[in-house]
Amino acid sequence: MMRRYPTAVWGVGVWSVAGAALAFFERTLWDAIWILTLGLWALYAAVGVVLFALITWRGWRRARLAGTLRAGGAMLVLEVTLVLGLPYVSAAGDEFQFARRFERLKPQYEAIVAQVVAAPDVRGKSAGVPFDVDAGPPRRVAFPQPGGITDNWEGVVWDPTGVVQSATGWRDGIPGRYTATPEAKRLFGGDLLACRHVVDDFYRCWFT
């Protein structure tokens, strides 16, 4: 016979799974609905507070102080654990979504690169894939990813020289101190903040 669990236990379980799912698909949601994603997080936090209050109130009504403290303490530990762990889940989800999109679009990226190499004036969009060209020399191609805001954007960059790898984030963690070389920093008309190698001559880069 299947063991029966209190409704509160099921509620906490569903709330925990929902939090992990929300974090894992946060980048996808942000690309789709942008700032409204913050509203989903606010709603999620509110549900957590309500669950904590209901579990605590139920225990007090039954005059079970020890049980109430245990249940409330367990819920509090779970909430703190989720808060600390969700950024890692979000990062893993972001990497997973990027890898899926890159593998799907890689053939088109390669075809566009071949076009650009053969005809330097080609730019704009090809088969629905937007791209930008840095004339160089050498010539480089950037494929903007969803979710960019004005001059803060992310792109897959094709760079046969690998010079974009000099961008590793802020130097010593101080905003405004770029690690990118002067040549790399000004690529594509923006300030290159960080890059990491994906495969072959493709890099995942962030501009600010």
For the chain, give the DSSP string. Answer: -PPP--HHHHHHHHHHHHHHHHHHTHHHHHHHHTTHHHHHHHHHHHHHHHHHHHHHHHHHHTT-HHHHHHHHHHHHHHHHHHHHHHHHHHHHHHHHHHHHHHHHHHHHHHHHHHHHHH-TT--EEETTEEEEEE--SSPEEEEEPTT-BTTBEEEEEE-TT-GGGG-BSBGGG-TT-B-S-HHHHTGGGS-EEEEEEEETTEEEEEE-
Cα angle value 63/65/67 (rounded, 5°):
105
Judge contact between 96 and 90, C-beta under 8 A: no
More confident residue, 10 or 178: 178
pLDDT computed for residue 194 by the predictor: 96
Token pair 């629905």 in the structure block, residue: 128
pLDDT surpassing 70 at residue 118: yes
- Over range 185-195, report the average pLDDT: 89
Residue 109: pLDDT band with limits 50, 70, 90: very high
- pLDDT of 197: 96
User: Is the pLDDT at 1 greater than 50, yes or no?
Assistant: no
Residue-level pLDDT at 5? 46
Average pLDDT (141-161) is: 88
Sign of CA dihedral 188, 29, 82, 93: negative
Mean pLDDT of the chain: 82
Report the pLDDT value the prediction gives residue 169, as an integer from 0 to 100: 92
pLDDT at 122 over 70: no
Average pLDDT over residues 25-31: 83
pLDDT higher than threshold 80 for residue 143:
yes
- pLDDT at residue 2 in the model: 42
Distance CA 27, CA 50 (A): 26
Name which of 27-36, 97-106, 155-164, 181-190 the model is least confident about: 27-36
Compute the distance between CA of residue 144 and CA of residue 116 in angstroms, rounded to an integer. Answer: 16
Reply yes or no on whether the pLDDT at 127 is more than 70: yes
Digit-coded pLDDT (tens) for 59-101: 555 545 555 555 556 666 766 777 788 888 889 989 999 999 9
Spell out the residues 6+ positions from residue 117 whose beta carbon is closer than 8 angstroms to its own.
Answer: 139
